[in-house]
Amino acid sequence: MKTVPIISAEKAASLVKDGDIILGGGFGMTGNPVNIIHELAKTKTKDLTFIANNVGEPNMGGGRLLNNGQLKKMIGSFFTSNREAVLAAQEGRVEYELLPQGTLAEAIRAGGAGIGGFYTPTSAGTLIAEGRETKMLNGKEQVFIEGIRGNVAIIRAWKADTAGNLQYRMTEQNFNRAMATAADIVIAEVQEIVPNGDIDPNEIHTPGCFVDYLVERKLTEEDLGSSASVGSSKVIDKKRMNMAKRAFAELEKGDVVNLGIGIPTLVADLIKPEDGIILHTENGMLGVGPEPKDGGGAMYYPVNAGKVPVTALPGSSYFDSADSFAMIRGGHIDVAIMGGLEVDAQGNLANWAVPGKPLLGVGGAMDLASGAKKLIITLGHTDREGASKVVEKCSLPITDFNCVDMLITELAVFKFIEGKLTLIEILPGSSLEEVREKTAAKFVEQLS
């Protein structure tokens, strides 16, 4: 059995050369090889292309490389979680490319498998797909995405043996597993290195043939950024909870459900074990439970797609981001509940970008909008200026077309019945007159 060299984080950083394409593992700071990245930030290495779900957090992980001016380009899914990265992109200080989260994961998996590229319906017809080849397959417009490879992959695992076999922990698989296959040099930062044979072959997630170097560095709570503790404060008022309760009423026993951030997260608080509803999170978990009661963070618990620590229910499972989005695109998610910025009379959804605002990240929204069997959108009926968000035609960048099945606002519930926006229910505290007054889109009234 081969023996993989064990090196220092400083030596690992020295393997990165000017102009390299770097694959950086992690989802936020969870499963993030922060120690090696921070050593790289101490060097003068420059003109790097950094590929990751996001660019760390402000001055953490890839965020530190950004602030040092070491990045020429960043490619990712959700830069919004690092305001400094958004500003750098919008001010033209760094090049960027935005990909839907599932597309990014699959592109890395394809690159690692020696596949030149693939077609996906995700992002078809949107700004994200501009300039890309498209083709009609199975009656759907699909976008061609090239496989992604890097010069160096810097990943994080929990345990390694001296042959380079890796084992991940909880939701720390995320992008790490695919990235371990998709670079010329793969460096794994791990919590612990054990002798060969100490890891059961059944429990190895990345075989040692993919790994070139190991770095043993202990994870600390300071390395976990915003996921170090629960620390989330949900704003719960009566109207928001009414919306969550109405969305919850649409769920059936046995449903596999993905919840977006914002109001949809309130639905999780309504689910009881006897409801038999299984929560899915894009970063690699099925069977998401409530937040830890002890306030513990990602050192001890998995995290959800909002990077908030959660618990695992009996029967839960963990997997990587590529497998997670295979579940979504493959039609294995029964219901997705997401927030929105606009929904129009054709069932089009806009929920990822507002021109001029510090938003730069589509995350998993496009994959979920096109892949979930049923899509429920919750949003405030009007904006701060009183303009309707239920519009005749979306003015903001589209997430997906003709995808919305149900729309829930604080005023009313709409369904798309035979392709028509249809008012089916008035929520408490509102009236038909108010709904008519505040809805810009034309709709059919079908109140019971």
What confidence category does residue 234 fall into, taking pLDDT thresholds of 50, 70 and 90? low
Domain 238-445 in the same topology as domain 9-219: yes
- Stretch 303-314: mean pLDDT, rounded? 92
The domain segmentation of the chain, as residue ranges, is: 9-219, 238-445
Residue 251 has pLDDT above 70, yes or no: yes
Residue 235 has pLDDT above 70, yes or no: no
What confidence category does residue 269 fall into, taking pLDDT thresholds of 50, 70 and 90? confident
* pTM of the predicted model as reported, rounded to 2 decimal places: 0.94
What confidence category does residue 29 fall into, taking pLDDT thresholds of 50, 70 and 90? very high
For residue 17, the tally of other CB atoms under 10 A from its CB is: 12
What confidence category does residue 426 fall into, taking pLDDT thresholds of 50, 70 and 90? very high
What confidence category does residue 353 fall into, taking pLDDT thresholds of 50, 70 and 90? confident
For residue 113, the tally of other CB atoms under 10 A from its CB is: 11
Residue 39 has pLDDT above 90, yes or no: yes
For residue 233, the model assigns a pLDDT of: 56
Catalytic residues: 282
**Mean pLDDT over all residues of the chain?**
94
Domain 238-445 grouped into CATH 3.20.20.70: no
Query: CATH top-level class for 9-219?
Result: alpha beta
9, exposed or middle or buried, with CB in 10 Å at 0-12, 13-18, 19+? Answer: buried
Condensed to tens digits (0 to 9), the pLDDT of residues 203-213 reads: 999 999 999 99
For residue 230, the model assigns a pLDDT of: 77
- Looking at residue 87, its amino acid is L
What confidence category does residue 69 fall into, taking pLDDT thresholds of 50, 70 and 90? very high
188, exposed or middle or buried, with CB in 10 Å at 0-12, 13-18, 19+? Answer: buried
172, exposed or middle or buried, with CB in 10 Å at 0-12, 13-18, 19+? Answer: buried
Condensed to tens digits (0 to 9), the pLDDT of residues 194-205 reads: 999 999 999 999
